[in-house]
């Protein structure tokens, strides 16, 4: 599912002496649809199925939250399929550049469900009647110390039967498997036109910015927070998506 036309991602195509920390700035926003589709296996499927699951679990007169919404792909997927017109989608991102572009894309789409966009830190959001919460490759960018408290606040705000959709890049406890899955991911990126230099330089830029955890860590965090069921519904290489049911 494409969110917008964009430039091709060439951010790391030239050799750099100093590689700055990755950030969701205007340069990344400009190429983001191309970057995400070429970097995350199954991204389009995950976006589409977020809409499908939101349609199943959204309660009438409830709010749906897209935390770390980037350009609003998950927001638009939910808005297209949620049957209750009295629902509201609240989409937040801390990147001003992302929110500016998302506003244009969502306005152009004219969603039937009201959408409220906010530039905000998702750690500060006050969740109100959230039947569906989406963290689509967002938690991995938070400091490790802040992850438990966010998941706990989401669980505390939800009712029985509500869901959290959590997509993440993961690492594996077994070193050999972790090495294999990373190699397969890099092969995926090469197949999508990235050079070894681009892959290496982006990995350096993301070091200590994107910090992956194991599936077991995610499952334990969700169950400790109070989710009664946790299911892996999608996985490809070292990327997966979970549905946690309150």
Note whether residue 185 is domain-resident: no
CATH number for the domain harbouring residue 51: 3.40.50.150
pTM equals 0.95
- Is the CB of residue 2 less than 8 Å from the CB of residue 77? no
Q: Which tokens belong to 71?
A: 């350009």
Please tell me what DSSP assigns to residue 71. T
In this predicted model, what pLDDT tens digit does every residue of 64-100 receive, in sequence order? 999 999 999 999 999 999 999 999 999 999 999 999 9
Crossing angle for the helix pair 73-81 and 96-109, nearest 10 degrees?
30
- Is the CB of residue 66 less than 8 Å from the CB of residue 37? no
Neighbours of 92 (CB within 10 A): 21
- Is the CB of residue 206 less than 8 Å from the CB of residue 22? yes
Note whether residue 37 is domain-resident: no
**pLDDT surpasses 80 at 5:** no
Q: Which tokens belong to 179?
A: 């090495």
In Å, the largest CA–CA distance within the chain is 54
In this predicted model, what pLDDT tens digit does every residue of 105-126 receive, in sequence order? 999 999 999 999 999 999 999 9
Note whether residue 191 is domain-resident: no
Note whether residue 190 is domain-resident: no
Q: Which tokens belong to 161?
A: 């039967």
**Domain limits at 216?**
43-170+210-245
Note whether residue 27 is domain-resident: no
The rounded distance, in Å, linking the Cα atoms of 8 and 27 is: 11
How many Cα atoms occupy the beta-carbon half-sphere of 209 within 13 Å?
12
**pLDDT surpasses 50 at 1:** no
Question: 6: pLDDT confidence band, cut at 50, 70 and 90?
Answer: low
- Is the CB of residue 168 less than 8 Å from the CB of residue 218? yes
- Total domains in the chain come to 1
Note whether residue 192 is domain-resident: no
In this predicted model, what pLDDT tens digit does every residue of 147-179 receive, in sequence order? 999 999 999 999 999 999 999 999 999 999 999
Note whether residue 14 is domain-resident: no
- Is the CB of residue 95 less than 8 Å from the CB of residue 29? yes
Q: Calculate mean pLDDT across residues 167-193.
A: 98
Note whether residue 164 is domain-resident: yes
Q: Where are the alpha helices (DSSP H) in the chain?
A: 26-39, 43-57, 73-81, 96-109, 144-157, 175-191, 196-206, 215-225
Structure confidence at residue 2 (pLDDT): 37
Question: 138: pLDDT confidence band, cut at 50, 70 and 90?
Answer: very high
Question: 219: pLDDT confidence band, cut at 50, 70 and 90?
Answer: very high
């Amino acid at each position: 599912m494409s969110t917008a036309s964009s430039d091709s991602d060439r951010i790391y195509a030239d050799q750099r002496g100093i590689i700055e920390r990755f950030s969701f700035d205007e340069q990344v926003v400009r190429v983001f649809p191309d970057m995400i589709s070429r970097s995350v296996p199954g991204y389009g499927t995950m976006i589409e199925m977020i809409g499908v699951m939101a349609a199943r679990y959204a309660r009438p007169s409830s709010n749906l939250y897209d935390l770390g919404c980037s350009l609003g792909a998950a927001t638009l997927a939910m808005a297209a399929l949620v049957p209750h017109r009295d629902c509201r989608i609240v989409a937040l991102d801390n990147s001003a550049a992302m929110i500016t572009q998302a506003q244009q894309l969502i306005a152009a789409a004219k969603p039937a469900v009201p959408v409220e966009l906010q530039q905000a830190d998702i750690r500060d959001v006050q969740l109100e009647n959230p039947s569906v919460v989406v963290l689509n490759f967002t938690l991995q960018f938070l400091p490790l110390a802040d992850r438990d408290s966010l998941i706990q606040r989401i669980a505390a705000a939800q009712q029985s039967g509500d869901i959290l959709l959590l997509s993440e890049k993961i690492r594996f406890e077994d070193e050999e498997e972790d090495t294999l899955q990373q190699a397969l991911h890099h092969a995926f990126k090469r197949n999508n036109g990235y050079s070894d230099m681009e892959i290496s330089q982006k990995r350096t830029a993301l070091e200590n910015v994107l910090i992956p955890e194991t599936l077991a860590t995610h499952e334990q965090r969700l169950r400790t927070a109070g989710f009664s069921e946790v299911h892996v519904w999608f996985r490809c290489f070292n990327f997966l998506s979970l549905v946690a049911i309150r």
